[in-house]
Copies of this chain bind each other. A is one copy, B any other.
Amino acid sequence: MHRDTALLAVDWGSSSLRGARLDGAGRVLEQRVFAQGVLSVAPGQFAGVFESAFGDWRRASGAPCLISGMAGSQQGWQETAYCACPAGFDELAAQLSPLAQEPGCALIALVPGLRCDGDCTLAGLDRVPDVMRGEEVQIFGAMQITGLRDGLFVLPGTHSKWARVAAARVTGFKTYMSGEFFALLRQHSMLARSLDANAEPDSDAFARGVQRSAQGAGLLHDAFGVRTLSLFGHMDAAALQSYLSGLLIGAEISAQSLRSGAEVILIGAPALTTLYAQALALHGVACVCLDEQATWAGLFALSRGLGTATP
């Protein structure tokens, strides 16, 4: 029995399903990770996958469950709204979306995503919007952990998010497809044959990529340099994979208006935040790094309102 469990916290993203049992103080008692991301689950199968992953936790604890991430998307378990920015913790907590459950079962609720209007208009159109699902929980969790109420919160990944926080509210954010571009170039482009996909990370080559992207020639041109550096033997296949990674992360960072001496809050898997921290340091920017603890802290904080939100 898991009588010490106060919350089942679940982050169901595009490519993975992670869960944790948290106690009444928000401490992690146990964690699980599964490969069944939202994109791999067929419509109608979400309840079954959830049951296989966490059914035993549910029955043993009787605790409520909060789920963040792409589970609330069109392709997910049940579509939830996007909270409009600027958005604070209370707006998010007020829009938790309970799933229909059999009587007597503990509550399962989905956390909404965030949306914002971008910084530009197109002729005859509204501003280009931006969206996130899951990262908002990590941002509010990071505020819980650090006590910060203002700053630039960066969440690297397939689709990296750069979010501005002021007075504990997310005022706006931008998505960068750096992780997906890297995967596309590595797997499907003409550059693939110049790269060693199994290479160990090469810190020097990564730094050169970041440095190159900062010179402003543009990603479309810099990427071709991977081919020519290979062609003339200036860099080997093992190093070029890290060089390409540096070009992409560097392009993402160069697109920001960061002054040297600034500080950002980096949230994500350590393998990725380490790379971003190195790249940001080359731009003179310092980092506070947080891992998945931010997710659990955010979901735990949101769960505090569950007792009052449901009868």
Q: Mark A residues whose CB is within 8 Å of B.
A: 74, 118-120, 122-126, 128-131, 159, 174-178, 180-181, 184-185, 187-190, 204, 207-208, 211-212, 215-221, 223-225, 228-229, 231-232, 234-235, 248, 251-252, 254-255
Contacts and interface: CB of A to CB of B under 8 A. Distances in A.
Given A218-B255, A219-B220, 11 more contacts: A122-B211, A123-B204, A123-B211, A129-B229, A129-B232, A130-B225, A131-B228, A174-B217, A175-B224, A181-B220, A219-B219
A220 B178 contact: yes
A121 to B, nearest CB: 10
A251 to B, nearest CB: 6
A71 B119 CA distance: 47
How many chain copies does the complex carry? 2
A176 B220 contact: yes
Given A175-B224, A223-B177, A224-B175, A217 B120 contact: yes
B207 A123 contact: yes
A248 B225 contact: no
B125 A234 contact: yes
B184 A221 contact: no
A174 B221 CA distance: 7
Tell me which of A120, A126, A185 has the highest count of chain B C-beta atoms within 10 A of its own C-beta.
A120
A135 to B, nearest CB: 13
A130 B188 contact: no
A142 B253 CA distance: 40
A225 B128 contact: yes
Nearest to A126: B234
B255 A220 contact: yes
Given A130-B228, A131-B231, A215-B120, A252 B220 contact: yes
Contacts of A232: 129
Nearest to A228: B129
17 contacts: A74-B231, A122-B211, A123-B211, A129-B228, A129-B229, A131-B231, A159-B224, A178-B220, A181-B220, A181-B223, A184-B184, A184-B185, A184-B189, A216-B255, A218-B251, A219-B219, A221-B255
Report, nearest first, the 6 A-B pairs whose CB atoms are least far apart: A218-B255, A176-B220, A128-B225, A175-B224, A122-B208, A184-B184
A131 B118 CA distance: 38
Given A180-B190, A184-B185, A224 B120 contact: no
